[in-house]
């Protein structure tokens, strides 16, 4: 449809200048509609999290709450479940990002050193893991039976620490640093570790920010490893998986408000789900406009493999 309109315009041989106006007007309209569509579903959950349950039941979720109430938030915040999840997710994100980033930076630097004889072998060793994998079942059996990581937070923390893509991304960032820096360090008699820490790392700040944020976003949004390895024996689960359970499992929904003290009938189920969703997503929504430039640089640097 949109394409056709454009073709018609081309055929019409508009005067110079007029075509710019047409493209721009068309662009403003299309982009505005699309951008609004991107945030619209969020506005609905925010609106319905403040709406009285009876209204949702009768008329469905609404953009603007008809009967404004904070009841759902009061219930969710009172129970404390979500705050424990917050704490756990913060801890996992902080520890995982720090460890992962240190390892990725070291590896990325070593693998980009032109004089390092094992760089190609190790690069291929890492890269191969993204070409061929054993699949879910052998991975699950290894993690639960050999490593005994069922119901352990380590099963969530460890697998997300790095990926071949992030190491390649780091290599691409390191590549932009002139080799002469390393050479000058060598001439001054510094060891490889000293060169890395005091000469290279300060120049890698944008790279560290970018890759660190990719890692942190991965931990913050983590739900998959939790769904594999954290059973009901674990009380506190990462934030997004807690949300998953609240939305999909009735007993989790009950726990998210006040445990055994209320019956299911007393819980405003729909608005409680929405309040959980808003609380689990809130920090990201407020933070991402300020950090998106790092993701953009990561996407453009990482798009082409080095």
Partner 1 sequence: MRKQSEKKASQMQVKRPNFFKLLWKYRVLTLMCVPAIVFFFAFSYMPLPGIYVAFVKYNYGKGIFGSKFVGLQNFEFLAESGKLLTLTRNTILYNLAFIILGNLLAVFVAILLNEMRSKWFKKVSQTMMFLPYFISQVLVGVLVYNLLNYDTGFVNGVLSSLGLEKWQPYADPNCWPVLLVIIYLWQQTGYNSVVYFAAIMGIDAEMIEASKVDGANAFQKIRYIILPSLKPTIVILLLFALGGVVKGNFGLFYNIIGTNSLLYGTTDIIETFVYRATMTDFNFSTASAVGLYQSVIGFVIVMTVNYIVKKIEPDYSLF
> Scanning residues 52 to 91, which ones bind partner 1 (CB under 8 A)?
56-57, 59-63
Of the two residues 135 and 202, which places its CB atom closer to partner 1 in the complex?
135
Among 1, 187, 193, 265, the residue binding partner 1 under the rule CB under 8 A is: 193
How far is residue 267's CA from residue 190's CA, in Å, rounded to a whole number?
A: 65
Of the two residues 61 and 199, which places its CB atom closer to partner 1 in the complex?
61
Of the two residues 265 and 304, which places its CB atom closer to partner 1 in the complex?
304
Of the two residues 42 and 68, which places its CB atom closer to partner 1 in the complex?
42
Residue 24 as a binder of partner 1 (CB under 8 A): the answer is: yes
Give the single-character DSSP code of 267: S
Among 5, 32, 259, 266, the residue binding partner 1 under the rule CB under 8 A is: 32
Torsion on CA atoms 110, 113, 119, 123, rounded to nearest 10: 70
Segment 232-291, which members bind partner 1 (CB under 8 A)? 240-241, 243-244, 247-248, 270, 273-274, 277, 280-281, 284-285, 288-289
Taking the complex as a whole, the smallest distance from the CB of residue 106 to partner 1 amounts, in Å, to 4
Of the two residues 84 and 119, which places its CB atom closer to partner 1 in the complex?
119
The answer to whether the beta carbons of residues 103 and 162 sit under 8 Å apart is yes
Site string for partner 1, 106-145 (x = CB under 8 A): xx-xxx-x--xxx---x-xxxx-x-xxxxxxxxxxxx--x
How far is residue 266's CA from residue 263's CA, in Å, rounded to a whole number?
A: 6
How far is residue 137's CA from residue 283's CA, in Å, rounded to a whole number?
A: 34
User: Cα–Cα distances in Å, from 196 out to 134, 138, 154, 164, 232?
Assistant: 35, 38, 29, 21, 44
The answer to whether the beta carbons of residues 306 and 269 sit under 8 Å apart is no
């Amino acid at each position: 449809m949109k394409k056709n309109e454009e073709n018609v315009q081309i055929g019409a041989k508009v005067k110079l200048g007029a075509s710019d106006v047409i493209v721009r007007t068309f662009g403003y309209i299309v982009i505005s509609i699309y951008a609004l569509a991107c945030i619209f579903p969020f506005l609905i959950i925010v609106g319905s999290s403040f709406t009285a349950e009876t209204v949702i039941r009768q008329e469905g979720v609404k953009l603007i709450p008809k009967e404004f109430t904070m009841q759902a938030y009061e219930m969710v915040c009172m129970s404390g479940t979500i705050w424990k999840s917050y704490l756990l997710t913060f801890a996992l994100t902080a520890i995982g990002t720090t460890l992962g980033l240190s390892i990725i930076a070291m590896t990325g630097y070593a693998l980009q050193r032109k004089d390092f004889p094992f760089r190609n072998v190790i690069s291929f060793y890492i890269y191969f893991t993204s070409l061929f994998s054993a699949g879910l079942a052998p991975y699950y059996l290894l993690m639960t039976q050999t490593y005994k990581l069922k119901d352990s937070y380590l099963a969530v923390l460890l697998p997300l620490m790095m990926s071949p893509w992030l190491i390649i991304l780091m290599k691409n960032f390191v590549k932009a640093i002139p080799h002469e820096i390393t050479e000058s360090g060598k001439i001054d008699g510094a060891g490889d570790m000293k060169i890395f820490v005091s000469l290279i790392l300060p120049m890698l700040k944008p790279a560290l920010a970018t890759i660190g944020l990719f890692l942190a976003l991965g931990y913050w949004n983590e739900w998959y490893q939790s769904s594999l390895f954290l059973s009901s024996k674990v009380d506190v689960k990462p934030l997004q998986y807690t949300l998953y359970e609240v939305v999909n499992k009735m007993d989790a929904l009950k726990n998210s408000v006040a445990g055994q003290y209320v019956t299911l009938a007393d819980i405003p189920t729909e608005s409680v789900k929405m309040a959980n969703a808003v609380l689990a997503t809130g920090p990201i929504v407020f933070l991402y406009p300020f950090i998106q430039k790092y993701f953009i640089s990561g996407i453009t640097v990482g798009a082409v493999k080095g």
